[in-house]
Amino acid sequence: MSTATFIAKNALRNKRRAALCVLSVAVSLFLLVTLLVTLREFTIPPEDIGAAARIVVRNRISLANPLPSRQRAVIEKIPGVEAVSPFSWFGGKYRNEEFTAFAQFAMDPKLMRAIFGEARMGEGEFEAFERDRTACILGKLTADKYGLKIGDKMVLESTIYPCTIELKIAGIYSGTIDDRNVLFHHDYLDEAADSKGTVGTWWVKARTLDDVPAVVTAINEAFKNTSCEVRAETERAFQLSFVSMLGNIQVLIGSICTVVVFTLVLVAASTMSMAIRERLRELAVLKALGFRQRELFAFILAESFGLAMLGALLGVGGAWVLFEPAHVMQKITGGLFITFEVTPRIIGMATAVAAGLGIVASIAPALGVARMSVVQGLKTLD
């Protein structure tokens, strides 16, 4: 019998206990990976290809405070600015849903391609969107979810503006990081809500990435000490500002992860202690035959490490298989998460936890065997 076979037979001697131990590790690591990916999604929002060159300009006091339309002419004259579009959140409800999973924004349709160049639509759809004042375009995910197609009508009842609008779908876009939103004419919103003269935010496209810092500074300085000061920031910084509104979610999820790991260590250590306690007589015989302490410790460590890594293979591998298709979590969470990527870093962290678990769980039983004399071991279970 080889050493590996000897270790495997000992690990699987009580198959029910070994299976329960492996499943406990697998389920706990699956939960740990899910929490880590959730934390990553909240704290590191995904970016579009063109996000680095986009700048969001909002009211310095609050995002809820509108901006005057006259600011557009000032921003357009700033060196390094390629395009400026109003971008106002409509906050509409669709089909009387309590929670609508897609957002709706009013913008200048003529600047759609300039600002969101990564969006892809069929031939003529951009032009159809620009021509019809009541037209809209929507993301492919939303179109698929509701079974919508070009030419269909969408009725949206706003929770922000005192109006309900009816839109005609002129195009369905894809290729962005978030293919869910509805975009329509800002002129139509001004007319329907009688809000002409104000916008929610300005979305600015810089000519090059090198121009972004200078444009951000210039926009902030242009409206400094005015009646409506602004805060210009990159799209990335704007996304992260929303994350900060959720509170210290990193501490919350981190605390849950700590509890999961701590509980997992207790379960694994208890399982290994029971397994070794049942074999003290056999280990005493091995001692009597001349096996050294480090060799016995290696047997125990290999058994504990093997069970932990088998659990990691099932738990971490299962999470990767389940979450790898991006659309899975979009459906499960109703569109809350755009992507749910199990990154190599997260896989590495979970695997390291499993490896550490295998080592820690073997320490207590190994110390017990080291302190045990041959005579004490042979008397065990008499």
pLDDT of residue 314: 92
Provide the angle, in degrees to the nearest 10, between the axes of the packed helices 344-371 and 293-323: 150
The answer to whether the CB of 356 falls within 8 A of the CB of 261 is: no
The answer to whether the CB of 78 falls within 8 A of the CB of 253 is: no
CB burial readout 329-344, b (16+ within 10 A) else e: bbeeeebebbbbbbee
The angle at the Cα of 285, spanning 279 to 286, to the nearest 5 degrees, equals 90
Tell me what the mean pLDDT of segment 364-382 comes to. 63
DSSP assignment of 132-171: -TTEEEEEHHHHHHHT--TT-EEEEEESSSS-EEEEEEEE
Provide the angle, in degrees to the nearest 10, between the axes of the packed helices 249-277 and 280-288: 70
Tell me what the mean pLDDT of segment 63-91 comes to. 93
* Amino acid at the residue 352: A
Q: What is the pLDDT of residues 300-314, one digit of tens each?
A: 777 788 888 888 999
Query: Alpha-carbon distance 188 to 73, whole Å?
Result: 20
Number of H helices, E strands in the chain: 15, 12
The angle at the Cα of 185, spanning 180 to 191, to the nearest 5 degrees, equals 130
* Amino acid at the residue 43: T
Strands (E), 7-149: 54-59, 67-68, 81-89, 92-94, 104-107, 135-139
Sign of the dihedral through C-alpha 58, 71, 65, 231:
positive
Instruction: Report strand pairing: 92-94 vs 153-158.
Output: antiparallel
pLDDT of residue 148: 93
* Residue 64 CB-density burial (10 A; 0-12 exposed, 13-18 middle, 19+ buried): exposed
pLDDT of residue 382: 46
Give the 3-state secondary structure of residue 172.
Answer: strand
Query: Alpha-carbon distance 338 to 340, whole Å?
Result: 7
DSSP 177: S
For residue 288, pLDDT over 70 is answered with no
Q: Which of 152, 144, 83, 134 is nearest to 113 (CA)?
A: 83
DSSP 334: T
Q: Which of 294, 290, 287, 330 is nearest to 102 (CA)?
A: 330
**Percent of the chain residues past pLDDT 90, beyond the cut:** 36
pLDDT-derived band of residue 230, with 50, 70 and 90 as boundaries? Answer: very high
Place of tokens 């390291």: 352
SS3 content of the chain, % helix, strand, coil (to 5): 55, 15, 30
Q: What is the pLDDT of residues 232-262, one digit of tens each?
A: 998 888 877 766 666 567 777 888 888 888 8
Tell me what the mean pLDDT of segment 140-144 comes to. 88
Tell me what the mean pLDDT of segment 109-121 comes to. 90
Place of tokens 């088998």: 310
Q: What is the pLDDT of residues 189-210, one digit of tens each?
A: 999 998 888 999 999 999 998 9
pLDDT of residue 231: 94
pLDDT of residue 326: 58
The answer to whether the CB of 184 falls within 8 A of the CB of 156 is: no
Q: Which two tokens stand for residue 19?
A: 């299976």
Query: Alpha-carbon distance 233 to 215, whole Å?
Result: 9
